[in-house]
Amino acid sequence: MSVGRLLRNHSDRLTPSPLRRTMLVVTAAALVGGVFTGAQTATADPNNDAVKKLNELSRQAEATSEAANTAKIDLDAKLAAQRDAEKTVLADEAVAKAARMAVSTYQVDVNKAMVAAYMGGTTSGYGAVLTSNSPQNLIDQLSVQRTVGGEMRSRMDSYRAAQTSADEAEQRSRDAAEAARVAAEQAKNVRASLQAKQSQLQVQIAVVKSQYNTLSPGQRAQLAAPAPVPPPPAAEPGEVGDAPEPLMQAAAAAPAPEAAIGGGGSPAGAGAVAAALTRIGAPYSWGGSGPNAFDCSGLVMWAYGQQGVSLPHSSQALARGGTPVPLSELQPGDVINFYGDASHTGIYVGNGMMVHASTYGVPVAVVPITSSGPIYNARRY
């Protein structure tokens, strides 16, 4: 049965809504890919050991690649924390220095008071009574003593406050210096971890490419073949489908279909889907973030970046961000993450399908979400 005929069999069940038109284009694109690769894969064994081995190696390399992407984000954060801590050290040192200068200003007066007390000087009223020779002289001495005593108490209070401020500033400076040391140590450890992951990844990439080069043309076609497409959902009673042939032509020309989001999907999600679909056929590249080659998180980051939304280049970071979405409430544009370590990701396009950059030797494609491994979670951005 021809692809056009197959689609016509479903035409009476398709709604002309934007989202359903989008999904029909996606389905047609996947079916066209299947027709073009069918002749090449007719003799390929679905359980071919060489392809299975390549898939396993590629899965390991992807996990390492996403771990390296996450480590790079972590390193950037640790370096930023180190820079902030070093700035705090400089600021606290300046405050401590100013506080010590204030202490030294009051120290002169304190020293004079201590010397005067030691040499027998007194500011007590009892001493004035003993040394005065007339009532007026007593009044004058008491007045002077009160003035001098008040000034000395004020200066002593200022001295104590300045001393306390200096002690606190120096403690903050020591704490900031320790925080800077810890931040620098953490950055050093994360950098070492990142370098180890990058080295491991380079070895894994070489192994994957070597394994890929052993595949026959038929095996390579089998690897790149689209996954089976689930049937379109039934339309509501009374809905009339459009003729599919124009959609077949559009799918063959690989245009960017307009995605529609409803039921609470994010405003940026529709645009991200549309952007990602323009990259169908782009090659997979470890660390790739577009516009011509991608890894899985690079495609998500690039697609959302076209909508002005900045996302991290890491599937694990994508699995931690955004808003959690139950799988029963998925909307086009939601980001789906896979495997126990969240080492793969893609963008949901509706109808149980997603667009993703899967693995080496396989271009960006639309596939069922059930074909990419166990689902870790879904997030909305």
Burial of 104 (0-12, 13-18, 19+ CB in 10 A): exposed
Chain centroid to Cα 32, Å, comes to: 36
Strand locations in the chain (E):
323-324, 335-338, 344-350, 353-356, 365-368, 375-380
Q: Which residues contact 105 (CB under 8 A, 6 or more apart)?
A: 162
- Establish whether 87 is a catalytic residue: no
> Among the options 72, 78, 220, 356, which is catalytic?
356
How far apart CA 367 and CA 216 sit, in angstroms, is: 24
| Alpha-carbon torsion (221, 226, 227, 231), positive or negative | negative
Dist CA 323 CA 325 (whole Å): 6
Residue of 68, 296, 342, 354 marked active site:
296
Quick check: helix, strand or coil at residue 302? helix
Q: In the annotation, is 356 catalytic?
A: yes
In the set 344, 346, 349, 366, the catalytic residue is 344
Place of tokens 């109808």: 351
Half-sphere exposure of 275 (CA within 13 A, CB side): 23
Q: Greatest CA separation found in the chain?
A: 131
| Residue at 261: amino acid letter | I
Q: CA–CA distance from 180 to each of 13, 78, 89, 120, 191 (Å)?
A: 64, 10, 8, 51, 16
Is 39 part of the annotated catalytic residue set?
A: no
Catalytic residues: 296, 344, 356
